[in-house]
Amino acid sequence: MTGDPIVPQTTWSQYLVQVYANGETSVIGSYDYRILEEKAREATKAIQSAYMYTFGSAGTGSTYRNNFEALDRWRIIPRMLRNVTHRNLDTTLFGVKLPSPIIIAPVGIHGILHEDGELATASAAASVGVPFVMSSASSRSIEAVAKANDDGHRWYQLYWPLHNDVTLSILGRAKAAGFTALMVTVDTFMLGWRPYDLDKAYLPFLAGVGAQVGTSDPAFMKRMGLAPRVDERPAFPLDLDAFRARLAAGDEEAQTALMLGRAWVEPTSGVFRSWEDLKFLRDNWDGPIVLKGIQTVEDAHAAIDSRMDGIVVSNHGGRQVDGAIGSFSALENITASSRVRRAQQQGEFTVLFDSGIRKGCDVIKAIAMGAQGVLVGRPIMYGLVLGGKEGVEEVLRGLLADTEITLGLSGYRSIDEIWGKREAILEKADSLPRRAKL
């Protein structure tokens, strides 16, 4: 006799009970990410260009689709009759213990989707206990986002400015505001070919929206011959047609916004950095540096050689190169490298995954494949559109509950039990023998 089962402790999965018990419709309206996406599209039909700017992809969208297909090719193999009553998603990244491996990805210009912009998202992240990665293309200042994030964990994503004085100023502000890790995007030294945005000529930066890290920066604004704007908050919703009309009429304020936006977007205008350039960041950032956008084993090795602390295996959610491999296929290749695995096991290198995470099973697959954390982008924006801070919280709590439930139903208690165990936990569908016809 083993006695009565022990009642499980409160965990992320208790959110499932809470949803049923409350008997109320959520702010976001659905926990099915496919329905959630459609609801977000419907809610933004008056500002459809803003929706497509955030949720659109490069070219035909093939890389976006490939991200899902790469994840779907791998299947979880559940184990039964294991005592997994007590579960947790705890993990440690860069020496910091976190309640889960889920991280809010850097997404630009939240302010075109909701009037509270990044303040809502950063606040929700702190409330739930998930790290927030602030984009250089934010519609709020570094200091304002840090205040909204309060005592939450926060990292800063860098679109690398062309001028060292501006870079140093931004790094100093981020560090002073409590951002502990630097995430350097290396796949966007120029914008990808995004047909919808081109068809509508929709680029918020040209109205100065998304340049608020720059407009609040002393070094950047000194180059512009202007004083920093401490807490600039662009009007919502953004009306680019009205802005262009103001430009045509010679409106000086509109002309200044255009000048600032163009200058701020320079890091994505075609000047490419090299591996040698990373030394400047390594010498001037006291904390972990992670390269976002790595897709090959060779580049992962180069990151180790460059004394980087980690990488994000990401293809920018399919927004940069059309016709590219799914990001999960890149993760499969990179974590198969004995050099990468050794560096991970020795605590010298961290591999994170991005591009395609929508469900709890996606998180489990990524961790089993060898990722130590996952970034989630578009679903967070769906929540922001539909419910502001509360909507983001619901998306996060739903994903966390789904992840923990899937972990338990698969027969495991913790992230540690599944990390890097692809052979035991996953099976690749296209490598399975075909079933004989009956």
- Give CA–CA dist 393/402, Å, rounded: 14
Q: How far is CA 387 from CA 43, 117, 120, 262, 384, in A?
A: 10, 12, 10, 31, 5
Q: How far is CA 1 from CA 29, 80, 86, 218, in A?
A: 45, 19, 20, 70
Query: Hey, CA dihedral for 198, 202, 203, 207, is it positive or negative?
Result: positive
- Inter-residue contact 90 to 98 (CB < 8 Å): yes
Catalytic residues, which ones?
A: 316
How many residues belong to the chain? Answer: 438
Nearest to 344 by CA among 355, 335, 354: 335
Specify whether the backbone of 355 is left (phi greater than 0), alpha (psi in -120 to 50) or beta: left
